[in-house]
Amino acid sequence: MLEILKARLQQGYRTTRYPAGPAPDLPPRFAGRPAIDSGKCRQGCDRCAQVCPTRAIQFDLAARKLRLDSGRCLFCRECERACEPGAITFTREHRLASSTRQALVVTDRAALPPAGIDARLQRLLGRALRLRQVSAGGCNACEADTNVLGTVGWDLGRFGIQFVASPRHADGLLITGPVTENMRSALKETYHAVPAPKIVIAVGACAISGGPYADHVEVHNGAAAVVPVDLYVPGCPPHPLTILHALLAAIGVE
């Protein structure tokens, strides 16, 4: 026991100070919120749309502008490589969550999307949040980046946010995966088991739009097809910092 305590003292303070302090360093390959500059696009060439595996990119011929749906985006950066330099770039901005689906569509000089939940619901829930996580056919990447928030480096519990085993003890659901047909009824029943008022958070491209499985006959293209969604968190998978920002926005801490 003494050796364990000694080792712990030697480790020092490991928990990130975010949001009271700076955000932790992000990996060099991190792909954050996309930025669009249609003026640098070779308009009509369609190369970015052709390489996108989820049809997240469109060129609006009428407005002559690029549109990138970050809710469908896998953040693979293939469009960035295929397009003219600077037309599409992936920034270091980790704040991707939005309370509206439409705000996830990025255009030229688009502002950060509004995050958070309905003010009345936020007042009712207060600064504590208990969530039941539902993997609705996910590959376990979004689940892993959510689970890591419980480690000493992130210590999600210090904000009063916890994951619980039973929907009866939850304030809402955190959903990952494209919602397969086999999980549709289970998700719906879990949602109805959560007492009102409640929130639903869709984490990852699959839970928002179906991700790479969109329009497959065995999936329902995301959580919103089955239950109402209050907060969307893009990514494939979202970085733990992106998920943390969304959860803090839900309880009014940013």
pLDDT score recorded for residue 250: 93
**Within-domain flag for 51:** no
Name the percent of the chain lying above pLDDT 70.
98
**Within-domain flag for 210:** yes
Indicate which CATH number applies to the domain containing 147.
3.40.50.12280
Dump pLDDT digits (tens) for 211-242. Answer: 999 999 999 999 999 999 999 999 999 999 99
Is pLDDT above 80 for 192?
Answer: yes
In angstroms, the CA 68 to CA 57 distance is: 5
Dump pLDDT digits (tens) for 48-60. Answer: 999 999 999 988 8
pLDDT score recorded for residue 10: 76
Sheet holding 161-163, edge to edge: 161-163, 129-135, 172-176, 199-203, 231-233
The whole domain housing 162 covers 119-250
The mean per-residue pLDDT over the stretch 134-159 comes to: 95
In angstroms, the CA 29 to CA 247 distance is: 24
pLDDT score recorded for residue 110: 87
The mean per-residue pLDDT over the stretch 180-203 comes to: 97
**Within-domain flag for 10:** no
**Within-domain flag for 54:** no
**Within-domain flag for 177:** yes
In angstroms, the CA 226 to CA 240 distance is: 25
The mean per-residue pLDDT over the stretch 18-40 comes to: 93
Is pLDDT above 90 for 119?
Answer: no
Is pLDDT above 90 for 93?
Answer: yes
The mean per-residue pLDDT over the stretch 154-164 comes to: 95
**Within-domain flag for 233:** yes
Long-range CB contacts for residues 152-159, cutoff 8 Å, separation at least 24: 152/14, 152/15, 153/14, 153/15, 153/16, 153/24, 154/15, 154/16, 154/240, 154/244, 155/15, 156/244, 156/247, 158/15, 159/127, 159/247, 159/248, 159/251, 159/253
In angstroms, the CA 237 to CA 99 distance is: 18
**Within-domain flag for 192:** yes
**Within-domain flag for 97:** no
Give the pair of three-digit tokens for residue 199: 């929130």
Is pLDDT above 80 for 8?
Answer: no
107 and 65 Cβ atoms separated by less than 8 Å: yes
pLDDT score recorded for residue 146: 97
224 and 72 Cβ atoms separated by less than 8 Å: no
pLDDT score recorded for residue 165: 96
Give the pair of three-digit tokens for residue 222: 């995301």
The overall average pLDDT reported for the chain is 93
pLDDT score recorded for residue 26: 94
Is 121 or 13 the better-scoring residue by pLDDT? 121
Residue showing tokens 């009866």: 168
For the chain, what is the domain count?
1
Q: If phi over 0 gives left and psi between -120 and 50 gives alpha, with beta otherwise, what is residue 215?
A: left
